[in-house]
């Protein structure tokens, strides 16, 4: 058999082998997905991982929120970020309401604190005190960042609105918004470090 035919034969046999393995794996996965915990345990004992889907993360007590370096917030309320030696997270609902804030810490180890209110909630203030932060993902109409320190802090807006940066000692800011976003910055924050912005960000002086 010449080399060309031998190469063609080996290629076809390899493709058949891969196809057979793929079909066998799909059948094994289907059987495991339909079997009970005992069969899943048997599969795990072979060194194969069974992927199970969990529901939404349960809410945490805000008093226990700590050791996060990023925050992601969503709702129609005001976000206040304040530099402080210790972590402290509080939510004050609008006057005359008892709106609840849902919060959880990221289980993937990314350092995120996620917080949101229900869609029908309007007003209120979420205040987050932290020694340092690396990133703020804000889907809220108003943001205040005051007294923060660090090498770099990113502020990403997902809805536009107004952000105010006051008395911060951050060496480098990164600002981004896909919608018109007004960022007011005071002299102390300006003097402490550089500011880079992308997207639809308008920077104004905060008196």
> Is 56 within a domain?
no
- 193 contacts 148 by C-beta, under 8 angstroms: no
Query: Phi first, then psi: what are they for 73, rounded to 5°?
Result: -125, 150
Give the distance from CA 200 to its chain's centroid: 21
Looking at the structure, tell me whether residues 72 and 133 fall in a common domain: yes
Both 87 and 172 in a single domain? yes
Residue with the two structure tokens 């345990």: 41
Same domain for 91 and 36: no
**124-161 per-position pLDDT tens digit:** 999 999 999 999 999 999 999 999 999 999 999 999 99
Claim to verify: residue 38 and residue 114 sit in the same structural domain: no
Q: What is the domain count for the chain? A: 2
- pLDDT (tens digit per residue) in 24-78: 444 434 443 444 444 444 334 434 444 444 556 789 999 999 999 999 999 999 9
CA distance 82 to 34: 50
Question: What average pLDDT does this structure show over 108-127?
Answer: 92
Using left for φ > 0, alpha for ψ between -120 and 50, and beta otherwise, residue 92 falls in beta
Average pLDDT, the chain: 82
Does 105 share its domain with 12?
no
- How many Å separate Cα 12 from the centre of its chain? 46
Q: Give the global pTM.
A: 0.73
Q: Indicate if the pLDDT at residue 173 is higher than 80.
A: yes
| Domain limits for position 98 | 62-205
């Amino acid at each position: 058999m010449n080399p060309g035919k031998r190469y063609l034969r080996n290629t076809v046999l390899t493709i058949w082998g891969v196809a057979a393995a793929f079909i066998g794996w799909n059948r094994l996965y289907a059987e495991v997905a339909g079997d009970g915990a005992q069969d899943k345990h048997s599969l795990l004992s072979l060194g194969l991982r069974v992927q199970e889907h969990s529901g939404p993360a349960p809410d945490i007590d805000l008093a226990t929120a700590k050791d996060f370096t990023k925050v992601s917030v969503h709702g129609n309320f005001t976000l206040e970020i304040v530099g402080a030696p210790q972590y402290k997270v509080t939510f004050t609902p609008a006057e005359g309401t008892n709106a609840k804030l849902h919060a959880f810490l990221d289980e993937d180890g990314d350092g995120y604190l996620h917080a949101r209110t229900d869609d029908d909630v309007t007003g209120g203030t979420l205040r987050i005190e932290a020694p340092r932060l690396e990133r703020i993902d804000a889907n809220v109409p108003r943001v205040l960042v005051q007294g923060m320190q660090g090498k770099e802090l990113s502020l990403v807006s997902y809805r536009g609105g107004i952000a105010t940066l006051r008395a911060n000692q951050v060496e480098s800011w990164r600002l981004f918004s896909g919608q018109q976003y007004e960022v007011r910055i005071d002299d102390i924050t300006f003097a402490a470090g550089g500011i880079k912005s992308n997207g639809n960000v308008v920077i104004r002086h905060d008196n």
